[in-house]
């Protein structure tokens, strides 16, 4: 008798082949979904970063909002953000200080 010879019925081999096919198919589906989700998340982060950079540029001083669209494999997103105006923030900050100090 050889070293690798096992006396298993053929039904175990067929069942194992069926189970392995299901397991490998499941792993393939999960990896595909993980890559899709990773690409979607990366695309959304890049779009958000682009909106943040554009809303701080001085040439958009007269605009009220910045709106940029992007799409990828199975997803689409539009981000609208107000143009950054530091003078408005400073006014609100000084108002909050005045209210806190009781003036």
pLDDT 10s digits, 23-41: 999 999 999 999 999 999 9
User: Please, what is the average pLDDT of the chain?
Assistant: 86
User: Taking the model in full, what pTM does it have?
Assistant: 0.63
For residue 19, give the DSSP letter.
H
Q: Are 66 and 49 in contact (CB under 8 A)?
A: no
Residue 23 to residue 27: CA distance in whole angstroms: 6
pLDDT band at 101 (very low <50, low <70, confident <90, very high): confident
Residues with Cβ within 8 Å of 74's Cβ and at least 6 positions away in sequence, in order, are: 36, 40
The top-scoring range by mean pLDDT among 33-37, 53-57, 87-91 is: 33-37
Residue 51 to residue 81: CA distance in whole angstroms: 7
């Amino acid at each position: 008798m050889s070293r690798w010879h096992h006396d298993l019925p053929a039904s175990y081999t067929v069942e194992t082949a069926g189970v392995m096919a299901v397991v490998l198919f499941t792993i393939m589906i999960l990896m595909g979904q993980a890559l899709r989700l990773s690409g979607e998340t990366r695309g959304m982060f890049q779009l958000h970063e682009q909106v943040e950079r554009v809303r701080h540029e001085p040439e958009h001083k007269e605009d009220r909002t910045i709106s940029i669209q992007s799409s990828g494999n199975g997803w689409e997103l539009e981000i609208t953000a107000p143009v950054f105006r530091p003078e408005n923030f400073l006014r609100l900050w000084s108002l909050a200080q005045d209210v806190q100090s009781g003036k």
